[in-house]
Amino acid sequence: MIRLEKVQKTFGLGTAGEKTVIRNLDFEVEKGDFITVVGSNGAGKTTLFNLISGSIFPTQGKILIKGKEVTRDPEYKRAKAIGRIFQDPLAGTASNMTLEDNMMITSNKGFKWPKISLTRTMRQSFQEQVKQLEMGLESRLKENVNTLSGGQRQALTLLMTVTSNPDILLLDEHTAALDPRNAELVMALTKRFINEKGLTTLMVTHNMNHAIEFGNRLIMMDQGEIIIDVKQEAKKQLTKKRLIEMFSEIKKRDFENDEVLLTS
Amino acid sequence: MIEGIFVEGLIYSIMALGVFFTFRILDFPDLTVDGSFPMGAVVMAACLHQGVNPVTGLLLAFAGGVLAGVTTAEIHNRLKVPHLLAGILTMTMLYSVNIRILSNRANLPLLRVETVLTKIHAWSEGFISAEWASLIFFLLVVILIKKGLDLFFITDMGLMFGALGNNEQMVRTQGVNPAILKSIGVGLSNGLVALSGAFAAQYQGFADVNLGQGIVVSGLASVMLGEFLLRSNRISILTLRVVLGTILFKAIMYLGRYYGYYINMTPNDLKLIAGILIIISLAAANIRNKKEKNRS
Ligand SMILES: Nc1ncnc2c1ncn2[C@@H]1O[C@H](COP(=O)(O)OP(=O)(O)OP(=O)(O)O)[C@@H](O)[C@H]1O
Ligand SMILES: [Mg+2]
């Protein structure tokens, strides 16, 4: 579904602040995979998503989506295949427009012609859709999205993204900005939608429980590389304790490296 | 007299609808307006002097405005120039272009040629006065344009313009190139502005390349005045209040022009008044936003 071949991303190439954030990365995602992505701050998780969705281009290497090379295609050209949700609940919706306008905008991808699709049957189907969220939004379709809470907005974004039937779903800490109760709610919805639709998904999370509980594969990133890749059965065997151990091993190594630098 | 305020208000509201489109829907503060408004006027005047059918003249004026708007949007898109600078560039270039369109003149009277209005007056003569005929005509034109815009903004493309103004990322995520949307949007907006200029020239009886000075400010002041009249998130109300706001703005300007001398004001002070109106509107909107924040 997605293939990265020897992908490298360096920011500020040729300047004093040159920084390689993704290092010689080979990575393949199969159709139907649900991969949880963990790694410390600055490991390159968001950069990986930016590369896949095309909001930035790699310095080296190739990116293929559904077997087609898209390495230098701008974001809007590959957006048909990709549904992406950001940490910021404001990022996925248009604040000063109504719920139904927002749902209409995201209901199909690609260039829009001046024809009216927001009909009564469409509104009814939107109503049916938001009922699935069980947040009472079905009576608020004509209200602006900025009247919703962060959790409601993120749930709506999730719903809109999923119903546009992307081939690939990219979730970047999409519950991190929500309070614990709303975060669990949105997480439960996430799980339900992905299972129902069998969506190929990559989900960045800092929550180790979620990383263990969800998906059929787990990758851990560190300094622009995938350092741990656990699949299927091995993923099922993985415990939170073991994961945290692996995590602290990296931290320790970083710490030791720093010490080496300081003493030498 | 009072009809005059309404007629002018209606004519300029077509321009204000264009300003509303870029400033409020697209979030693309577009200054091309100061050049595309007189462009509409001079294209119309040139056409009428060439004996071109007035309706064709209106269409050409509209097309000229679209071209001007697309130029601004493309400068912004391709050269990554800020909106404001792109608009100023086009506006400045249009000044020369407009003089060329008038065959190297700065103005052209339209008293001896047949215009849309002389046609209507010839037809309505006998049962209503010329002023009333103009009023009814422009009322119909504005209703047509307003209704057209209301419909346009609920089409799939129209909604996308709203998304662009709110959240450009959302547009890209939908697989639409924001640059193309900007060109279409700013183009259509300036088409309306030029159409307004074409009507204004016919109503005033002359076209002048300086007609556009401060037009964008008066358009913005009209939009903001309208925002104080009605509150809603329905597009039909949003466009209605632009029209009402422009009429109110024209009324205030009219008062300034004819009764301003009581307080020692001259017509030259009107631009100052327009600017102050915007500043007051901005200040009032700030206070209102603060109050709302405190409440919630
Ligand atoms: N546009 C940019 N220019 C320069 N450096 C950048 C840029 N974007 C990201 N970086 C750097 O790349 C590194 C990886 O950032 P990235 O956002 O991918 O991390 P992350 O794994 O998502 O971290 P977090 O868990 O904090 O979200 C960071 O050190 C960051 O400072
Ligand atoms: Mg990140």
What is the SS3 assignment for B111-177?
A: CCCCCHHHHHHHHHCCCCCHHHHHHHHHHHHHHHHHHHHHHHHHCHHHHHHHHHHHCHHHHHHCCCC
Rounded to the nearest angstrom, the minimum Cα separation between A218 and chain B is 26
Closest-CA residue, ligand 1 atom 8, reads: A47
Closest-CA residue, ligand 1 atom 17, reads: A46
Are A94 and B163 inside 8 Å of each other by CB?
Answer: yes
Kindly give, in sequence order, each residue whose CB lies less than 8 Å from that of residue B136, ignoring residues fewer than 6 positions away. B128
Query: What is the mean pLDDT of the segment spanning B252-278?
Result: 85
ipTM of the complex: 0.87
Are B157 and A116 inside 8 Å of each other by CB?
Answer: no
Q: Report pTM.
A: 0.90
Are A104 and B171 inside 8 Å of each other by CB?
Answer: no
- Exposed/middle/buried for residue B127 (C-beta within 10 Å: 0-12, 13-18, 19+): exposed
Query: What is the mean pLDDT of the segment spanning A13-22?
Result: 90
In-domain check, residue B64:
yes
Residues of chain A positioned with their CB less than 8 A from the CB of B178:
76
Which numbered ligand comes closest to the C-alpha of A86? Answer: 2
In-domain check, residue B290:
no
pLDDT digits (tens, 9 = 90+) for A228-260: 898 877 777 777 777 788 777 776 766 666 655
Q: CB of A43 closer than 6 A to ligand 1?
A: yes
In-domain check, residue B251:
no
The H or E element spanning position A177 is: none
Q: CB of A41 closer than 6 A to ligand 1?
A: yes
pLDDT digits (tens, 9 = 90+) for B144-188: 999 999 999 999 999 999 999 999 999 999 999 999 999 999 999
Are A112 and B169 inside 8 Å of each other by CB?
Answer: no
Tell whether B175 is within 8 A of chain A (Cβ): yes
pLDDT at B296 over 60: no
Residues of chain A positioned with their CB less than 8 A from the CB of B174:
76, 79, 105-106, 109-110
Of A13, A40, A46, the one to substitute when testing ligand 1's pocket (max ligand atoms within 8 A of C-beta) is A46
How many domains is chain B partitioned into structurally? 1
Rounded to the nearest angstrom, the minimum Cα separation between A214 and chain B is 25
Q: For chain B, percent helix, then strand, then coil, each to nearest 5?
A: 80, 0, 15
Question: Beta-strand (E) ranges in A42-114?
Answer: 60-65, 68-69, 82-85
In-domain check, residue B50:
yes
Kindly give, in sequence order, each residue whose CB lies less than 8 Å from that of residue B289, ignoring residues fewer than 6 positions away. none
Query: What is the mean pLDDT of the segment spanning B240-257?
Result: 93
Ligand 2 centroid from CA A176, angstroms: 11
Ligand 2 centroid from CA A97, angstroms: 28
In-domain check, residue B118:
yes
pLDDT digits (tens, 9 = 90+) for A31-69: 999 999 999 888 999 999 999 999 999 999 999 999 999
pLDDT digits (tens, 9 = 90+) for A181-233: 889 999 999 999 999 999 999 999 998 889 888 999 999 998 899 988 988 77
The band of B138, judged by pLDDT with boundaries at 50, 70 and 90, is: very high
Give B27-90 as a DSSP string.
Answer: -----THHHHHHHHHHHHHHHHHTT--HHHHHHHHHHHHHHHHHHHHHHHHHH---HHHHHHHH
Are B155 and A95 inside 8 Å of each other by CB?
Answer: no
pLDDT at A26 over 80: yes
Helix intervals (H) in A107-230? 120-131, 150-163, 180-197, 208-213
The pair of structure tokens assigned to A85 is: 């949700």
pLDDT digits (tens, 9 = 90+) for A112-156: 899 999 999 999 999 999 999 989 999 999 999 999 999 999 999
Rounded to the nearest angstrom, the minimum Cα separation between A97 and chain B is 7
pLDDT digits (tens, 9 = 90+) for B82-109: 999 999 999 999 999 999 999 999 999 9
Query: What is the mean pLDDT of the segment spanning A86-97?
Result: 93
Q: Which domain holds residue B196?
A: 2-208
Query: What is the mean pLDDT of the segment spanning B230-239?
Result: 92
Rounded alpha-carbon distances, angstroms, from residue B49 to A128, B96, B250 = 60, 20, 29
Ligand 2 centroid from CA A191, angstroms: 21
Residues of chain A positioned with their CB less than 8 A from the CB of B170:
91-94, 105-106
pLDDT digits (tens, 9 = 90+) for B270-280: 888 888 888 99
Which numbered ligand comes closest to the C-alpha of A50? Answer: 1
The band of A264, judged by pLDDT with boundaries at 50, 70 and 90, is: very low
Query: What is the mean pLDDT of the segment spanning A168-181?
Result: 93
In-domain check, residue B234:
no
Q: Percent of chain B, pLDDT > 70?
A: 99
pLDDT computed for residue A76 by the predictor:
93
Q: CB of A44 closer than 6 A to ligand 1?
A: yes
pLDDT computed for residue B28 by the predictor:
96
Residue boundaries of the structural domains of chain A: 2-108+119-261
What architecture does CATH give domain A2-108+119-261? 3-Layer(aba) Sandwich (3.40)
Residues of chain A positioned with their CB less than 8 A from the CB of B154:
116, 118
pLDDT computed for residue B66 by the predictor:
98
pLDDT digits (tens, 9 = 90+) for A160-172: 999 988 999 999 9
